[in-house]
């Protein structure tokens, strides 16, 4: 199933189908898995409640999502009495994570992973903030799973706080759910805000939840499968290796906190949602590119920086590591300011590598145009800044001791003083008026 997803994502970039598998050997019909939620821009738009016309162009879709962020009014979730998630409730000796067709996603994974396209719900011990984050879960046995949360992620900050106090953290892990919750869990919703409240804002109504039977946490009433349990300080098991999102098997097994499962809830004929990830372009890249680009655009707006024209996190950089921003330069230093804010704001800081700023005549999502700017408007001595010891992780094959990495910032804009003087060479291209005239004249013949 993982291999078919990888092969279709590779063969049909931007157009691959979502794959729903049924009749998995060894499992009853109806116990299904779903892969490739976000392999097209249209499915991202549909999930985000954005008109499909906006999905014709990458930057247009990012802009539409960023506009939603600018005007977002979070709507709190609300508890309902019942929901399909309560159709089956397993506790005690009935708990069995292998009841579902849990895949070994990549050929070299040591174990089967039940949580990949998942929403891990944790509660801040100091306030009424339920965070949803996508963090992977290996299965160890029927009632023990993993939960790998990297430093700095919201769920990790929650867990660190419990552990600093010597306390167990309760967790509810949703492994089959509404694609909107998965998309939000896998993107950078601001600190202190529940992804449920953003989901409510996007849907225009409160997200319906029920109380988890073990944790009491709000869990989606319409979810497919929810696993609840405890993570206790010092209760460690070897986790990984797993084929990672940067395209490598990065580490030998590492001892990490595990989850002792206390309940499983699932609807009849449940769908296990999966996103194994692999070398680019994988089935999660458009999710990360659209959500990450919109969040960075919004951070630039909040920092007060004017005239951002487009943002795109490129597919080849896994939607995280090759960020291009186009601007209309308004003042000396504008381009450099954009580079530093975009690379250091919360949405751009984690695991970045390349950040490039270009003028407004360059489409930041068009790699040929970006390369043209880099090869004609960028000087390798004057137009580079380096950030050292930035926020990275063991997923990076070049990670430095202490989980840091170095970043490159490239100013590929026309030097501002030359733009002002008008002495930068004129671009060879058909002018706008002439283009319009020729398109009209040759309509239906050449165009």
Q: Which residues bind ligand FMN (CB under 6 A)?
A: 116-117, 131, 133-136, 148-150, 153-155, 186-188, 275, 277, 284, 287-288
- Tokens 């092969």, located at residue: 7
CA dihedral 373, 374, 377, 380 (to 10 degrees): 170
CB-nearer residue toward ligand FMN: 32 or 288:
288
CB of 245 to ligand FMN, least distance (A): 6
Length reported for the chain = 447
* Helix (H), strand (E) at residue 9: helix 2-11
CB-nearer residue toward ligand FMN: 249 or 372:
249
CB of 67 to ligand FMN, least distance (A): 21
CA dihedral 426, 430, 434, 436 (to 10 degrees): -120
DSSP-derived secondary structure for 278-333: -SSS-TTHHHHHHHHHHHHHHHHHHTT---EEEEEE-GGGTTTSEEEEEE---STT
Which two three-digit tokens encode residue 269? 């004929």
Phi, psi (rounded to 5 degrees) for 31: -85, 95
CB of 249 to ligand FMN, least distance (A): 14
CB of 314 within 8 A of CB of 59? no
CB of 289 to ligand FMN, least distance (A): 11
CB of 107 to ligand FMN, least distance (A): 18
CB-nearer residue toward ligand FMN: 83 or 394:
394
End-to-end CA distance of the chain: 41
CB-nearer residue toward ligand FMN: 150 or 366:
150
User: How many helices (H) does the chain have, and how many strands (E)?
Assistant: 12, 21
- Tokens 């903030």, located at residue: 129
| DSSP annotation of 276 | -
CB-nearer residue toward ligand FMN: 196 or 378:
196
CB-nearer residue toward ligand FMN: 137 or 263:
137
CB-nearer residue toward ligand FMN: 320 or 409:
320
DSSP-derived secondary structure for 59-120: HHHHHHHHHHHHT------EE-S--GGGGEEEEGGG--GGGS-----STT-SS-EEESS-EE
Which two three-digit tokens encode residue 341? 């804010």
CB of 131 to ligand FMN, least distance (A): 5
Q: What is the largest CA-CA distance in the chain?
A: 78
CB of 135 to ligand FMN, least distance (A): 4
CB of 138 to ligand FMN, least distance (A): 10
CB of 308 within 8 A of CB of 300? yes
Total Cβ atoms within 10 A of residue 109: 18
CB of 311 to ligand FMN, least distance (A): 17
CB-nearer residue toward ligand FMN: 267 or 288:
288
CB of 46 to ligand FMN, least distance (A): 18
CB-nearer residue toward ligand FMN: 95 or 274:
274
Give the CA distances from residue 286 to residues 130, 345, 364, in Å, rounded to whole numbers and listed in that order.
Answer: 26, 20, 15
CB-nearer residue toward ligand FMN: 259 or 327:
259
């Amino acid at each position: 199933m993982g291999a078919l997803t990888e092969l279709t994502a590779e063969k049909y970039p931007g157009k691959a189908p979502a794959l729903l598998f049924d009749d998995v050997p060894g499992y009853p019909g109806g116990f299904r898995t779903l892969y490739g939620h976000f392999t097209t821009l249209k499915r991202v738009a549909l999930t985000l409640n954005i008109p499909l016309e906006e999905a014709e162009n990458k930057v247009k879709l990012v802009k539409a999502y960023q506009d939603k962020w600018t005007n977002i009014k979070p709507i709190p979730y609300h508890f309902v009495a019942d929901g399909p998630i309560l159709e089956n409730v397993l506790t005690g000796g009935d708990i069995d994570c292998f009841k579902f067709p849990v895949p070994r996603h990549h050929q070299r994974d040591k174990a089967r992973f039940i949580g990949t396209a998942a929403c891990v719900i944790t509660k801040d011990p100091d306030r009424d903030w339920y965070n949803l984050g996508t963090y992977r879960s290996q299965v160890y046995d029927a009632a023990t799973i993993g939960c790998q949360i990297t430093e700095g992620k919201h769920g990790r900050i929650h867990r660190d706080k419990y552990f600093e106090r010597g306390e167990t953290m309760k967790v509810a892990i949703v492994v089959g759910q509404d694609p909107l919750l998965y998309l939000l869990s896998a993107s950078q919703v601001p600190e202190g805000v529940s992804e449920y409240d953003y989901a409510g804002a996007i849907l225009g109504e409160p997200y319906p939840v029920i109380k988890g039977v073990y944790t009491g946490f709000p869990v989606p009433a319409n979810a497919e499968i929810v696993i609840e349990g405890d993570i206790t300080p010092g209760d460690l098991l070897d986790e990984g290796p797993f084929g990672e999102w940067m395209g490598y098997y990065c580490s030998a097994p590492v001892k990490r906190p595990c989850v002792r499962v206390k309940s499983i809830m699932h609807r009849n004929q449940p769908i296990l949602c999966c996103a194994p990830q692999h070398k680019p372009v994988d089935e999660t890249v458009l999710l990360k590119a659209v959500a990450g680009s919109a969040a960075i655009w919004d951070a630039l707006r909040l920092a007060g920086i004017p005239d951002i024209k487009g943002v795109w996190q490129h597919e080849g950089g896994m939607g995280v590591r090759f960020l291009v921003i186009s601007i209309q330069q308004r003042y000396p230093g504008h381009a450099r300011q954009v580079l530093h804010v975009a690379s250091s704001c919360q949405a751009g800081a984690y695991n970045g590598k390349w950040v490039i700023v270009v003028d407004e005549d360059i489409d930041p999502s068009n790699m040929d145009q970006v390369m043209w700017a880099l090869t004609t408007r960028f000087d390798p001595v004057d137009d580079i800044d380096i950030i050292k010891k930035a926020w990275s992780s063991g997923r990076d094959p070049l990670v430095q001791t202490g989980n840091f990495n170095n970043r490159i910032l490239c100013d590929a804009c026309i030097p501002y003083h030359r733009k002002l003087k008008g002495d930068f060479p004129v671009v060879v291209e058909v002018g706008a008026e002439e283009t319009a005239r020729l398109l009209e004249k040759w309509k239906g013949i050449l165009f």
